[in-house]
Structure 1
Amino acid sequence: MLGDLKTSLGTLLPLIAVTVFSSLVFLTLLKKNHKVKNLPKGSLGLPYIGETLNFLRAQNQNQGVEWISERVTKYGPVFKTSLMGAPTVIITGQAGNKFVLGSDDEIFASKQPKTISEISGKHHLFELTGARYKLIKAAMVSFLKPECLQHYVKHMDDLIAKKLHSETKDRDTVKAVDLMKIVTFDVACTVLFGIHDETIKNDLLRDFTIAFTAIWSLPINFPGTHFRKGLEARGRIIRRMSPIIMKKKEDLTKGIVYPKTDVICSLLALTEDTEEPITEQEVMDNFIMLMIASHDTSANLLSLMIMKLAKDPKIYEKIREEQLRILSERQGANENLTWNEIQKMKYTWRVAQELMRITPPVFGSFRKAVKDTSFGGYDIPKGWQVFWVACGTHLNKDIFDNPTTFDPSRFEHPLKPIPPYAYIPFGAGTRMCIGNEFGRIETLVVIHHLVTKFEWSLVDPNEAIKCQPFPYPSLGLPINLKPILSSSKI
């Protein structure tokens, strides 16, 4: 018992010291803003910690929407709080989304909280501005735009079919979340980054899982904290990737590979007008950022689709009918999905769209005020974070009729058009997610193979959703699998 007490004190005393010190820093920051006359209503909570723990607890219990709604009811659609170690203004609603997502970098910089920037890096697309941002974005978009992605469909189809087969062979029960993470990570590694070694891919997946869990946490760098574990995982990712990046750089020089071989090669080949090459750190940070964006968002959506289809047999059958019809209309000896066939999967994608409306993969995201500004009659001081949320419009009855009802048809022939900045699962404006089309293709290919080859049921029909930070089934979504079609693509 005495040993436990010493252990507890050893953990708490540094935290108390940091909290006291941070209180002084926090109060100093507020004092700098003493000229601000009309801050939004709300509570900044405890110094430094703010309302972070309360917010993360709500997320963990899938109560994030309620957490926002309670404060909107109490303070209005614009309110202040403190998250991830910094004072924050949360803005909800369509006009608020347009203000935050539609503003340029001179008002809101795409700067992330310390936990995110320290773990994912400070030189990636979510942090950059100006010419460097445009340069790196152009390189990534060159791989992710539809006219390029259509050439990857056959490769993605082969990868997904083989990985699903190898991971489900001779297994009656699997955890769907793990399965979807393995599949989407394999596709990202192979197609986007040219990483083929299975051992390296497995090690990277393990560390990316740790890092991603840590990006929404308090930035307290003590042993055992999520933040420390995330930083350690980042270090291991860098050590594993550095030799790979250096080898690709050498191969580029020798003409063995080319800028269009993969995203890493494309970044390594970049120069600005000043002929300043992209640094290895910039390549590394953008690799980490794009891996998270291209892998975990798809794995999340697919996990939720598997859960939904198990709970709603009518939707499962309708999707299966659409996918079988595509196969029956196929001509010739081609066994791979084609770009044109992907475009025929309209109902399947509407189900995905409706899932992302009700349970968006990204709850919201941060910006940082570059200068003093205002919105809705309230001042937003320079240096404060601004946080936009999807639920403010996704679940608004004035925008979507019966917003809590699952209805994929609302994306087929809507009774009223969806206004701009109202449906934002991929963000909006100039910083809209560049990987949304890649994610759409990957999702549709995976669902095609699942519904044409398997039936499944939930081991626990009452499994809850848990956000860390994406909304995943809390037990990993164990499912009972029953093959219904053998595959020739194994």
Structure 2
Amino acid sequence: MDFIAVIAVTLIVAFLFWKILLKGRRERENLPGGSLGYPIIGETFSFLQAQKQDRGPQWLEERTAKHGPVFKTCLMGSPTVVVIGQAGNKFVLGAEDDVLAAKQPTTLSAISGKQNIFELTGSRYRLVKRAMVSFLKPESLQNYIKQMDELIKTMLLRETENKDTINAVVTMKKLTFNIASSILFGIKDENTREVLFDDFSLAFKAVWSLPINLPGTVYWRGLRARARIVDSILPVLKERREELAMGKLSPTSDVFSSLLALRDENQEPVSDDLIMDNYVTLMIASHDTSAILLSLMIWKLSTDSEIYKKVLQEQMDIISRREGAEDRLTWQEIQKMKYTWTVAQELMRMIPPVFGSFRKTLKDTQYGGYDIPKGWQVFWVAYGTHMNKEIFDKPNEFDPSRFENSSKPIPPYAYIPFGGGLHTCIGNEFARVEVLTTIHNLVTMFEWSQVYPEEKITRQPMPYPSMGLPIKIKPRIS
């Protein structure tokens, strides 16, 4: 009882101190309207609950109705200013790094590591970005098409062997994780990939959680999972470093070898910590968001017969036009999947894989007539423009044709599933190729239907079919 009393008194004192601090700040600064909620916790619980129920837009609308398109709150342990709309997107995504840095919430920083590419600035950011982009640009991706196609085909056959029903979400997560592990990082051992997959699943859940490091919490489990990931990868780095030194491995072999070969402005190699942090970050960014889009594509193709027929026709036409004995996808064939990609684009407009993202102010700044103090977070959201009828006609209707040479061009910073400006996702082309290659194999090899046709989408915190999207699947009969 004494312990409980101490906790209660501590919380009360913290709450009173919080109120006094805020009152003083309001007197000194012109902060936007809104509520910072309870100390540390803020409005995190209500925000995450709204996401889980797929009510994120409603959560925003309740606050914008009271305070306008700029309001304050407290999320993931930090005071936050939320900006809604095209101008807000441009303000955040187009800002210089010395004003708004891609500093992430405590949870993401702890799981990814403090030297991940989203946290880096200046010359160190450019150095790491160049190394990563070298494997993600179109010229490099052309070399991976056949390998990716073979890996996807093999995995789909194995996951569906002797089964008439599979969990599509889990299958897509495994598939995209193995693609990233094998192609980007050269991790070929299946046992190693399986262990890493389990730990990354725990680590990702911790990214959007409260930073409470107590046994049993999501955050605590995520930190322990990251530690196990590090223990698994350090021997891989040691082996790759030795192979580079002996000339058995090229700096262009995979992302690990590229990062190991990096030299900073003093011609010193970058640290293992930096390599590890960016490995974790790239794995989280590259496999989960693609798995989301693929799951949504399977879900959409299951529920919309007209869209499905058009996608199937496009993919079958690609096979029918092949000449000779070639039975693997080519870069040229990927470029012909225009309709399939517009379906993916429209899905990302209506159900963006990333609801929004954080930046952190490195100095006092202003936006929309309000002060944003140094150290606060700024949060942008895709919803404010993706569902804006002034930008997209009839935004609640699913219409892939809006991305086909529309007579009404989409303005900058309005369609942002991959971010924008200085912080456009470096893996957007890799994701496009991965998604199109997977859908090609799925629709040409299999037929499927949903086990639960009324299955809804919920954010956990990313948007997934609420029941894991079990599907009845069978080989396609030619």
For residues 198-237 of structure 1, the aligned pairs below 5 Å read: 198-237=190-229
Residue equivalent to 1:244: 236
> Could you list the per-position Cα deviations for residues 281-306 of structure 1 after superposition, in whole angstroms to 9, with x for gaps in the alignment?
00000000000111001000000000
- Contact kept, 8 Å, 1:72 with 1:79, in 2: the verdict is yes
Q: Given residue 337 of structure 2, which amino acid in structure 1 is its aligned partner?
A: M
Residue 273 of structure 1 and its aligned partner are, at CA, apart by 2.0
Q: Aligned partners of 1:273, 1:334: CA distance in 2, in Å?
A: 47
Residue equivalent to 1:454: 446
Q: Aligned partners of 1:22, 1:266: CA distance in 2, in Å?
A: 48
> Could you list the per-position Cα deviations for residues 234-262 of structure 1 after superposition, in whole angstroms to 9, with x for gaps in the alignment?
11111111111111111111111111010
Identity %, equivalent residues: 59
For residues 122-161 of structure 1, the aligned pairs below 5 Å read: 122-161=114-153
Change (3 A) 1:15 1:112: farther
- Contact kept, 8 Å, 1:189 with 1:201, in 2: the verdict is yes
Q: Given residue 180 of structure 1, which amino acid in structure 2 is its aligned partner?
A: M
Q: Aligned partners of 1:13, 1:293: CA distance in 2, in Å?
A: 43
Q: Aligned partners of 1:20, 1:432: CA distance in 2, in Å?
A: 43
Residue equivalent to 1:471: 463
Residue 120 of structure 1 and its aligned partner are, at CA, apart by 1.1
* TM-score normalised by the chain length of structure 2: 0.97
Change (3 A) 1:170 1:109: same
Change (3 A) 1:101 1:206: same
Q: Aligned partners of 2:8, 2:224: CA distance in 1, in Å?
A: 23
Q: Given residue 387 of structure 2, which amino acid in structure 1 is its aligned partner?
A: L
Change (3 A) 1:391 1:18: farther
Residue equivalent to 2:317: 325
* Aligned counterpart in structure 1 of residue 44 of structure 2, from 32, 35, 52: 52
Q: Does 1:341 align with 2:333?
A: yes
For residues 260-339 of structure 1, the aligned pairs below 5 Å read: 260-339=252-331
- Contact kept, 8 Å, 1:36 with 1:381, in 2: the verdict is no
- Contact kept, 8 Å, 1:456 with 1:480, in 2: the verdict is yes
Residue 467 of structure 1 and its aligned partner are, at CA, apart by 1.2
> Could you list the per-position Cα deviations for residues 144-199 of structure 1 after superposition, in whole angstroms to 9, with x for gaps in the alignment?
00111111111101110111111111110000001101111111010000001111
Change (3 A) 1:29 1:367: farther
Change (3 A) 1:221 1:23: farther
More deviation, 251-260/93-102: 251-260
Q: Aligned partners of 1:307, 1:470: CA distance in 2, in Å?
A: 15
Root-mean-square deviation (CA), in Å? 1.8
Provide the secondary structure at the position in 1 that maps to 2:389.
Answer: coil
- Contact kept, 8 Å, 1:26 with 1:48, in 2: the verdict is no
Change (3 A) 1:335 1:106: same
Q: Aligned partners of 2:14, 2:210: CA distance in 1, in Å?
A: 12
Change (3 A) 1:35 1:275: farther
Task: Provide structure 2 residue ranges, at least 5 long, that are not aligned to the other structure.
Answer: none
Residue equivalent to 2:59: 67
Q: Does 1:390 align with 2:382?
A: yes
Provide the secondary structure at the position in 1 that maps to 2:256.
Answer: helix
Change (3 A) 1:244 1:25: farther
Residue equivalent to 1:115: 107
Provide the secondary structure at the position in 1 that maps to 2:270.
Answer: coil
Residue equivalent to 2:96: 104
Q: Aligned partners of 2:254, 2:18: CA distance in 1, in Å?
A: 44
Q: Does 1:412 align with 2:404?
A: yes
Provide the secondary structure at the position in 2 that maps to 1:242.
Answer: helix
Q: Aligned partners of 1:375, 1:268: CA distance in 2, in Å?
A: 41
> Could you list the per-position Cα deviations for residues 363-408 of structure 1 after superposition, in whole angstroms to 9, with x for gaps in the alignment?
0000001111111111111110000000000000000000010000
Residue 34 of structure 1 and its aligned partner are, at CA, apart by 5.5
* TM-score normalised by the chain length of structure 1: 0.94
Q: Given residue 71 of structure 1, which amino acid in structure 2 is its aligned partner?
A: R
Residue equivalent to 2:85: 93
* Aligned counterpart in structure 2 of residue 167 of structure 1, from 147, 155, 159: 159
> Could you list the per-position Cα deviations for residues 37-96 of structure 1 after superposition, in whole angstroms to 9, with x for gaps in the alignment?
310000111111100000000011111111111111111000000000110000010000
* Aligned counterpart in structure 1 of residue 73 of structure 2, from 73, 77, 81: 81
Residue 36 of structure 1 and its aligned partner are, at CA, apart by 3.8
- Contact kept, 8 Å, 1:72 with 1:78, in 2: the verdict is yes
Q: Does 1:182 align with 2:174?
A: yes
Residue equivalent to 1:3: none
Residue 413 of structure 1 and its aligned partner are, at CA, apart by 2.9
Q: Aligned partners of 1:414, 1:230: CA distance in 2, in Å?
A: 44
Residue equivalent to 1:433: 425
Change (3 A) 1:18 1:112: farther
Q: Aligned partners of 2:20, 2:247: CA distance in 1, in Å?
A: 55
* Aligned counterpart in structure 1 of residue 370 of structure 2, from 358, 378, 392: 378
Task: Provide structure 1 residue ranges, at least 5 long, that are not aligned to the other structure.
Answer: 1-5
